[in-house]
Amino acid sequence: MAQANESRGGVARFTLRTIALIIGIVGTVIAFILNILYSLAHVLGRVAGISDDPSHFWWGLLCVLLALVGSFLAPILPLAAAVLLVGTGVWFFFIVGWWAVIASPFLIVAGLLTFSNRKVRVPGTAA
């Protein structure tokens, strides 16, 4: 059952959203570095005749940009930021495979922190 966050004021919510912004930016930077390294490995593999996916970098860059937008939306629009951060955290697994274990937890934790921090209105209660 949903409970209202009556004990947290606006300053506490803003502080947690700012922490989510910082965690999201750290995850975005790590994801960007992983995307570049993974793409570089694929380019070198293509030169050697191993790789078969030339468009990997652009999908990874789109994922990183959406994560960055989600990070900056955390203090302003927490629901949209949470959807973007969690979505890109999961999507990054499809782009770089298991290397996403390094960056995706940052994005998913930032999204969950942003989402769990929003004010909840419970029907049938006075608030």
Residues 70-122: tens digit of each pLDDT: 999 988 888 899 999 999 999 999 988 888 899 999 999 999 888 775 564 54
Would residue 83 count as lying in a domain?
A: yes
Would residue 124 count as lying in a domain?
A: no
Would residue 127 count as lying in a domain?
A: no
Would residue 109 count as lying in a domain?
A: yes
Q: What is the pTM of this model?
A: 0.76
The length of the chain in residues reads: 127
54-84 as b/e, with b when 16 or more CB fall inside 10 Å?
Answer: eebbebbbebbebbbbbbbbbbebbeebbbb
Tens digit of each residue's pLDDT (9 = 90 or more) over 32-69: 999 998 888 877 766 666 655 667 788 889 999 999 99
Would residue 121 count as lying in a domain?
A: no
Helix (H) or strand (E) holding 91, with range, is helix 78-96
Would residue 49 count as lying in a domain?
A: yes
Would residue 57 count as lying in a domain?
A: yes
- As a whole number of angstroms, the distance between CA 113 and CA 108 comes to 8
Q: Are 35 and 61 in contact (CB under 8 A)?
A: yes
Per-residue model confidence (pLDDT) at position 49? 65
Domain assignment of residue 82, given as a range? 10-116
Domain count of the chain?
A: 1
Would residue 24 count as lying in a domain?
A: yes
